[in-house]
Amino acid sequence: MQKAKYVHSVFESIADEYDRMNNVISFGSHVAWRNYTMKQLNVKPGDKCIDVACGTCDWTISLARAVGSNGQVVGLDFSQNMLDVGAYKVSKEGLGGTIKLVNGDAMKLPYEDNTFDFATIGFALRNVPDVQTVLNEMARVVKPGGKVVSLEVSKPPFIPYRKLFYLYFYNVLPMIAKMVVDKYEQYAWLPQSLTNFPDSKELAGMFQKAGLDPVQVKLFLGGVSALHIGTKK
């Protein structure tokens, strides 16, 4: 659990700059990727969703807008500092009645089987102690026919492009973080978290292992980011 402790300390310390750096890191593309994902999901008014490792609640808020006042969205994260930033944004959007924020563990979701219509995780799956365990948990808490969704940094399949991306992600990104928010070590960790993370094909196999079939995969910008949508049998 050493990884869990370290990751927790990283996110506690970068909570205030997280949104700003997300825009810098992805050149604002993460918003377009999430908007595309929401269109694919077709979340309906009255649906019940859980946004796992919700961070500062950008996706949580998008889901809440989609489910409306008759729906419910849980935003779960293990970093209270991230949740505090998220709670401010939720309050500003007037969505406190729809969103419930929970300090909890993605490896052991505190919900019954077959509770939610959607379970999402955005740019956080590579930071969990065990990817398969988290996918299994997300699959467990969605209803049959419900969807488990991951939007995550990935490894471009075209090797020369992958090397170029790694050069940016591993070497340039931490230097940008140092200049913009004076945080080097924390942002050096984020690229390293990709090193042992499965590529998009391997991750699709893990979705299937969790009992999700079919699994749709969409690559963005040549595979620097990947969307996986799995339907629970």
Render pLDDT for 86-139 as a digit per residue (tens, 0 to 9).
999 999 999 999 999 999 999 999 999 999 999 999 999 999 999 999 999 999
pLDDT for residue 74 is more than 80: yes
Mean predicted confidence (pLDDT) in 211-220 = 98
Average pLDDT over residues 136-152: 98
Q: Which of 34, 32, 37, 31 is nearest to 147 (CA)?
A: 37
- Reported pTM: 0.93
Q: b/e map of 39-70 (b: 16 or more CB within 10 Å)?
A: eebebeeebbbbbbbbbbbbbbbbbbebbeee
Check pLDDT > 60 for residue 224: yes
Is the confidence at residue 217, as pLDDT, over 90?
Answer: yes
* Stretch among 79-88, 173-182, 184-193 having the lowest mean pLDDT: 184-193
Mean pLDDT is lowest, of 47-56, 58-67, 189-198, 203-212, for 189-198
